[in-house]
Amino acid sequence: MSIYIDERTRVCVQGITGRDGSFHTGAMIEYGTHVVSGVTPGKGGQTRGGVPVFNTVHEAVSETGANATIVFVPAKFAADAAIEAAESGVELVVVITEGVPTLDAMRLYQRTKQLGVRLLGPNCPGLISPGKAKLGIMPGAIHTRGKVGVVSRSGTLTYEVVDSLRRGGIGQSTVIGIGGDPIIGTTFIDTLEAFEKDEGTTAVVLIGEIGGTDEEQAAKFIKEHMSKPVVGFIAGRTAPPGRRMGHAGAIIAGGKGTAEDKIEALSDAGVPVADRPSEIPGLLRATLGR
């Protein structure tokens, strides 16, 4: 089992004819993902690796029964493309595109919320249910099928943790990168709720970073609603206030969003927080051994 995506997910790739879209379509299909269609306005009727391309998401959905889209459309048009997808009847919209203007992201978020469509991102690496489907840009080969859910605001840091889980013999149910922008669709709480309900997940790794209060809210949710063990990690303990650490969202502003606050909140919620990524597999084993 897994959350949000599995072997039944039917994927439409928006921006399939672009440089990233085409490349990652190839990689997703090779991984075994069910890519049924693509969209690039003006290029309808073409194919990419046997995948039919349509001019609109509506066509792609009605012709190929796609129930999820992944958006590689350039930042200028990404939010409109994702809104088009949300309005076409898909259940999940994953926006990989980096650099989406914040006001666009707000509009996009409000629209998906109104329609009850799950939005992941923007500016995220996507998600993977190992052995089933990959809607993202992560290297598939480091992932292994298993029962630990991973949710993260980061990209390569997640790969590092997943890689160390693999070496430690711990497989994953779903690994999900929620993205590093200030306005994102799916949050820690959403995924924790889904992992809690998922029969195929027995424990969760939560990888947070400085900025915002998402981890604090996650801690509250864990305390109140979660029965499954969660292990945490927070990046940015040494980050100075007021300086943006790469991600637009990774900034300690107004005295809020420090690593200390987050670690304290998680510890209060009974979540052991690793000091270093290398401690995560051990903490997980200890937690699962309870």
Structure tokens at 27: 């990689």
**Positions 150 through 189 that interact with a second copy (CB under 8 A):** none
247 tagged catalytic: yes
Question: Where does 121-253 show beta strands of DSSP type E?
Answer: 126-129, 133-136, 145-152, 172-177, 203-209, 230-235
Question: Which of another protein, a second copy, none sits in contact with 60, Cβ below 5 to 8 A by type?
Answer: none
| Count of residues of this chain found to bind a second copy when the rule CB under 8 A is applied | 20
- Cross-sheet strand order for the sheet of 92-95: 47-48, 51-54, 35-39, 11-14, 68-71, 92-95, 118-120
The answer to whether 142 contacts another protein (rule: CB under 8 A) is: yes
CB 74 within 8 A of CB 22: no
Nearest to 178 by CA among 195, 203, 166: 195
Q: Which residue has the tokens 């206030």?
A: 241
The answer to whether 140 contacts a second copy (rule: CB under 8 A) is: yes
Structure tokens at 76: 């200028």
The answer to whether 242 contacts a second copy (rule: CB under 8 A) is: no
The answer to whether 19 contacts a second copy (rule: CB under 8 A) is: yes
Pairing of strands 51-54, 47-48: antiparallel
CB of residue 70 to another protein, shortest distance in Å? 16
**Positions 204 through 223 that interact with another protein (CB under 8 A):** 207, 209-210, 212-214, 217
The answer to whether 27 contacts a second copy (rule: CB under 8 A) is: yes
Which residue is catalytic, options 24, 34, 143, 247?
Answer: 247
Answer for which of 1, 80, 145, 156 binds another protein (CB under 8 A) is 156
Question: Which of a second copy, another protein, none sits in contact with 22, Cβ below 5 to 8 A by type?
Answer: a second copy
Q: Which residues are catalytic?
A: 247
Residues of this chain that interact with a second copy (CB under 8 A) are: 17, 19-20, 22-32, 46, 48-49, 139-141
